[in-house]
């Protein structure tokens, strides 16, 4: 097993797609040896991570596909991790793979993997950090992480990605002022997709106003304005400009994204919790609790204390 | 301190409101001695818990006030825990207290406490179980827990309460078919409040149809239909019938609510986690991580392992 994993890790580093796919499956499902595989990774690999987020229906997948076509022409090697909230099971994600991959299926420079959200808070896969770390071992130029922006996931994607692209569509229209402050906080680049729609100009102007206000408000006076770009991803309009904007952002980036430490600290806390809770048998806890609950003098806090004492000594 | 708490617990059991208020503050904020106070409680106290939930604007507070007036006439002693999501800070909850208490302020049979949600998942106070357990120590006939139904909190309230009343209003109107299945699962009694509104009859009929279908579908054929009651809480219409329905439900209840075990198991798991994580210094973790993150060969999983090893031996 150990030798197998060493071989697998070597193949991932060489850019072997089937090995990478198997590695992701191992990490995602915590299969035998996943921990020793994770211990081999280096968080600070060169490949940069680009987050593409936005509300459902904003055309994120279409933007991603258009970017892939653009970067392929520049001979870039790219991995796409698409977090698909449509199904609580893996079936949806697998189906997602096939649909997304139809165009890039046999392209040796594009690796695509759809991931189910698995009920993780806010819509990111619970193992997205580990999976991204593994993907970064392979010799990709860029790793795109596509995710539906829903609450918590926005903060997560901003911590995970070196550059976060927030994609919006005119339907969101004049109500952009009601956009959660969260989106303003995480966007490094705004994209108004479907810019050929009637209301696109209004959304564009509103966003421009918001990023202008943000750049010139409070303590951050003089900060560079967040770029707002228009695209029609279906026909490629504005995609070269978006790609250039992403590259520009990554080139001038001097430090880790502000939310990276926060994200990794949360993850670290979860890992410690998991390690500390490993010996707690959920089924035994439930069974013992069910019995105790029916006694007249039941006290939840005394029960918990006793359960813990038993676990420690037993 | 120990003697103080013993005295406090004694006073709570005697129905001393200031003592109960202080006890809640101790438990809610984990002040000195809160654990030993919790260890004195008995989960299975006689006072029954009634959950009042429903969407914002359904008139839950008005229904609660009308029920209080009704039960006061029957000389019942009642505690109200109102979970108020309007403010992340306690100010909102304190303000809530004053507004709610205006009518019952000096009534020796009514204890009211507003609780902030404190960012707990889904809108219940993170210490609602502990606080309810404490309140049940006092000689109340009924404990009302009022909460806005938002996602997770619906399941929590159904586990916490012996009888869950779901309050809806005609504005929800014909769209009752889009009600989350969750609400159907947790309701023991439905209330159509503001029943004098034009669309009330439609909502009422839809609910009747749904509860009929539920009672006669699948494996549960022959189950009693969930009562659907109409109220106009502002003038008291339908309130005696609602009170009777609650009493009837509680009287015929033979067992703990189905979700009680689930709720307490979750809580128990959280308590175990808290106990197991007590020695993990969040600030040190963050500081160490910040340094490690800037090293070239940073690996999150190795860092976590080392941090844990150091904590154990140190």
Residue B93: CB atoms within 10 A of its CB come to 22
Cα of B103 to nearest chain A Cα, Å: 35
Is the CB of A307 less than 8 angstroms away from the CB of B272?
A: yes
Q: Are B81 and B145 in contact (CB under 8 A)?
A: yes
- Secondary structure of residue B75 in the 3-state scheme: coil
Give me the sign of the Cα torsion angle A213, A214, A218, A222. Answer: negative
pLDDT of residue A290: 93
Q: Is A30 on the interface with B (CB under 8 A)?
A: no
Which of A42, A277, A289 is facing B264, going by the closest CB pair? A289
The rounded distance, in Å, linking the Cα atoms of A59 and B238 is 50
The answer as to CATH 3.40.50.300 being correct for domain B42-260 is yes
Structure pTM? 0.77
DSSP secondary structure string for all residues of A69-94: HHHHHTT--EEEEEEETT-SSHHHHH
| Span B6-53, pLDDT tens digits | 999 999 999 999 999 999 999 998 899 899 999 988 766 678 999 998
If you ran DSSP here, which 8-state letter would residue B226 be given?
Answer: P
**pLDDT reading at B226 higher than 90:** yes
CA A23 to chain centre: 17
Are residues B297 and A133, on separate chains, in Cβ contact within 8 Å? Answer: no
Residue of higher predicted confidence among B42 and B246: B246
User: What angle separates helix A300-313 from helix B260-277, to the nearest 10 degrees?
Assistant: 50
Contacts of B130 in chain A (CB under 8 A): 301
| Interface probe, candidates A43, A263, A302, chain B, greatest B C-beta count within 10 A | A43
- pLDDT tens, per residue, chain A with 314 residues: 567 899 999 999 999 999 999 999 999 988 998 999 999 887 666 789 999 988 877 888 899 999 999 999 999 999 999 887 654 444 445 555 556 657 887 899 999 998 876 554 445 677 899 999 999 999 999 999 998 765 566 778 888 999 999 999 887 544 454 455 667 788 999 999 999 998 899 889 988 988 998 888 766 556 789 999 999 999 999 999 999 999 999 999 888 888 889 889 989 999 999 999 999 999 999 999 999 988 888 999 999 999 998 886 54
Residue B268 sits at the chain A interface (C-beta within 8 Å): yes
Q: Which of A152, A264, A288, A308 to mutate to test the interface with B (most CBs of B within 10 A)?
A: A264
Contact A301 B39 (CB under 8 A): yes
Which of the following CATH numbers is that of domain A44-260: 2.60.120.590, 3.20.20.10, 1.10.3720.10, 3.40.50.300? 3.40.50.300
What residue segments make up the domains of chain B, in order of their start?
Answer: 1-40, 42-260, 279-313
Which of A129, A260, A275 shows the shortest C-beta gap to B308?
A: A275
Closest-CA residue in chain A for B307?
A: A272
Option in A43, A269, A290 nearest B298 (CB): A43
Residues of A in contact with B286 (CB under 8 A): 261, 265
Query: What is the pLDDT, as a whole number, of residue A97?
Result: 55
Taking CB atoms and an 8 Å cut-off, how many pairs form between chains A and B?
126
């Amino acid at each position: 097993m150990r030798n197998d994993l060493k071989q697998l890790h070597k193949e991932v580093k060489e850019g072997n797609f089937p090995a990478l796919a198997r590695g992701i499956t191992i990490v995602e499902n915590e299969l035998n040896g996943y921990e020793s595989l994770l211990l081999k990774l280096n968080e600070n690999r060169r490949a940069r991570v680009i987050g593409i987020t936005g509300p459902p229906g904003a055309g994120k997948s279409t933007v991603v596909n258009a970017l892939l076509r653009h970067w392929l022409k520049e001979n870039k090697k790219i991995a796409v991790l698409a977090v698909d909230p449509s199904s609580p099971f893996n079936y949806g994600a697998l189906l997602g793979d096939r649909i997304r991959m139809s165009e890039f299926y046999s392209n040796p420079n594009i690796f695509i993997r759809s991931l189910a959200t698995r009920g993780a808070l806010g819509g990111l896969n619970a193992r997205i950090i580990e999976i991204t770390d593994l993907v970064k071992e392979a010799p990709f130029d860029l790793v795109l992480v596509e995710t539906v922006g829903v609450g918590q996931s926005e903060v997560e994607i901003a911590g995970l990605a070196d550059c976060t692209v927030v994609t919006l569509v005119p339907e969101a229209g004049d109500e952009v002022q009601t956009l959660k402050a969260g989106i303003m906080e995480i966007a490094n680049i705004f994209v108004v997709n479907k810019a050929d729609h009637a209301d696109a100009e209004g959304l564009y102007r509103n966003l421009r106003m918001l990023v202008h206000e943000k750049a010139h408000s409070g303590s951050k006076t003089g900060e560079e304005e967040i770029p707002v770009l228009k695209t029609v991803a279906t026909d490629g309009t504005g995609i070269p400009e978006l790609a250039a904007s992403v590259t520009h952002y990554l080139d001038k980036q001097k430090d880790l994204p502000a939310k990276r430490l926060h994200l990794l600290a949360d993850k670290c806390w979860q890992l410690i919790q998991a390690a500390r809770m490993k010996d707690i048998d959920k089924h035994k806890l439930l069974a013992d609790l069910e019995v105790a609950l029916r006694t007249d003098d039941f006290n939840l806090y005394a029960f918990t204390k006793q359960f813990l004492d038993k676990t420690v000594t037993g």
